[in-house]
Amino acid sequence: MTRRAILEDPDPRLRLPSEPVDRFDASLAQLVEDLCDTLYAGSAIGLSAPQIDDRRRVLVMDLSRQRTAPQVFVNPTILSRGAARGLVEESCLSLPGVSAKVMRAVQLRAAARDAAGRPFERDLADMEAVCLQHEMDHLDGVLFTDRLSLLRRLGLRLVAGRASRAAA
Ligand SMILES: [Zn+2]
């Protein structure tokens, strides 16, 4: 069991784009295991590789009640989004103490590979759809607060916090 340290904003490593996985080997299996161990050590529903300082396009999520059904997405892509969008409250292990509602598609069809390299497609709805989009953003160096308006970021004091740190 390896619980890895989670990078927190404004760590610049969270802003780097991740690279597609082309080797489905023991190193990838270890990454998936570490992601699950780190996810289950806390109460979050999803975790991406860049948050534990790994540049591969891998994420895990588990929205099951018992937290015994991890979903592993390697090289995920979104094939289609439904027209319905919703405002859902999000938080992030890399932004402790911050939560806000983000507008996202609430129905989508995703394609990915599992840890063994087998391709699959899956329909996701509601929180699962939101979680996948949040974690996929991490693979592109995007944090959920980037998707808020400036006014709402000011409301969270993110901008003010950065300004005062920069001034200190
Ligand atoms: Zn996050």
| Catalytic pick among 89, 90, 121, 135 | 135
Q: Is 33 a catalytic residue?
A: no
Whether 2 is in a domain gets the answer no
Whether 127 is in a domain gets the answer yes
**Tens-place pLDDT, residues 1-34:** 799 999 999 999 999 999 999 999 999 999 999 9
Sign of the dihedral defined by the CA atoms of residues 61, 42, 50, 4, in that order: negative
Q: How far is the CA of 105 from the centre of ligand 1 (A)?
A: 17
**How many domains does the chain divide into?**
1
**Tens-place pLDDT, residues 44-89:** 999 999 999 999 999 999 999 999 999 999 999 999 999 999 999 9
Whether 138 is in a domain gets the answer yes
Report percent pLDDT > 90 for the chain.
Answer: 87
Q: N- to C-terminal Cα distance for the chain?
A: 40
Whether 52 is in a domain gets the answer yes
Q: What is the CATH number of the domain that holds 87?
A: 3.90.45.10
Give residue 107's domain range.
12-167
Whether 4 is in a domain gets the answer no
- Give 56's DSSP letter: B
